[in-house]
Amino acid sequence: MIPAAKGGPFGWMLDAYIGRKFRSAFRGLWVRGELPAPGPGRLVYLNHTNWWDGFMLHQLSHVAGWDGYCLMEEENLRRYRFLSRIGAFSIRRKDPRSSVESLRYARELLRRPRSALYVFPEGEHRPPGELPLRMERGVELLGRVSRVECVPIAVRYTFFEHERPDVLLEVGTPHPPGPLSVFQSGLESVVRSLLAATTLDGFTLKVSGARGVAERWDTVRGMSP
């Protein structure tokens, strides 16, 4: 198993780089619903639609005040080992011994104050809006062994009327661990709600990104006499 290795000079530089990269690529990160305040460890599970998800989680940790970690397939983490510096750790899903080791490691992380463990229970990228979600049992096992609050969050990358895309998050109702059906219902509910959004009404801007040409032009026109 590859453990998380947060911090250190390289980790700090990576932290700054990811923030700049995210803000330059997107118009903003928007949240609808209440992000739980930092406190005891919690399990956060999300749909997985995009390469940018890891960088998005990094930004989410900052705005929520969470000490974020993310479970990642070991083959992919070996390819992008630098992600361990921002909290990624590995699992080999087809190796029972490795899976048990990773579950134990996750349980220890969740005992830390302010910790948030991010999990993509679909196990791979899936097209946005593909329902029902095809979820694996790993999230149920993590909930069972860690016994922490579980929070569903839906993710959507979308263009509205602007040049650059917005990243939308919808936070569901926190709940105790339970069978897979509980996680399935919790995540599908927020995914459906988020897919129905056609404007940014009801969302709160958490991370400001880059403005497009039209927005910059509107600013200039507003400054004209």
Residue 58 lies in a domain: yes
From first to last of the 225 residues of the chain, give the pLDDT tens digit.
999 999 888 888 999 999 999 999 999 999 999 999 999 999 999 999 888 999 999 999 999 999 999 999 999 899 989 899 999 999 887 787 878 899 999 999 999 999 999 999 987 777 777 888 999 888 999 999 999 999 999 999 999 877 889 999 999 999 999 999 999 999 999 999 999 999 999 999 999 987 755 565 566 556 544
- Kindly report the pTM of this predicted structure: 0.90
Residue 169 lies in a domain: yes
Contact 65, 174 (CB under 8 A): no
- Closest to 33 measured CA to CA, from 201, 176, 172, 154: 172
Residue 208 lies in a domain: yes
Based on the structure, what is the number of domains in the chain? 1
Residue 215 lies in a domain: yes
Domain enclosing residue 90, as ranges: 8-223
Residue 92 lies in a domain: yes
What CATH number has the domain bearing residue 216? 3.40.1130
Residue 3 lies in a domain: no
The rounded distance, in Å, linking the Cα atoms of 43 and 56 is 17
